Amino acid sequence: MRKVLFLFAVLTFISCKKESEESFGKPETTTEVQKPEELGKAIFEGKGACVACHKPDVKLVGPSLQDIAKIYKDKNGDMVTFLKGEGEPIVDPTQYEVMKVNFAVTKTFSDEELKALEAYVYSHLK
């Protein structure tokens, strides 16, 4: 009899465990969809560290985001390709060497992340 009880206890324990595992990892129903622009901002100020050289409206080490956005729009530039290291500089080619260093980082970003960065830069368009 004791053996049976023990077995019962073990079975109950296993089935409980299974249940809690199943409920774990279910997609949350309330997760908000993050706008590309917001993701871009997070990368720009976070792991991209772009903010060290680029400010929204003043030139620092690199051109301001307003200037980049304007020139990319006027010249129909492809920022994603540029950040992959596969394009040509169109904003300030004389300083390209300084920007080039960052491709080591931006090349590790996904297309989604690069597009998010582009959306963030474009959000500064006046």
Point out which residues bind ligand HEC (CB under 6 A): 48-50, 52-54, 61-63, 68, 77, 79, 82-83, 89-92, 95-96, 98-99, 102, 105-106, 117
Residues 79, 103 contacting (CB under 8 angstroms): no
Q: Which is nearer to ligand HEC, 8 or 55 (CB)?
A: 55
Q: Minimum Å distance from CB 49 to ligand HEC?
A: 6
Measured between alpha carbons, how far is 89 from 113 in angstroms, rounded to an integer?
20
Q: Which is nearer to ligand HEC, 39 or 105 (CB)?
A: 105
Q: Which is nearer to ligand HEC, 33 or 101 (CB)?
A: 101
Could you tell me which residues are beta bridge partners of residue 54? 59
Non-local CB neighbours of 124 within 8 Å, separated by 6+ positions: 56, 57, 64, 65, 66, 68, 69
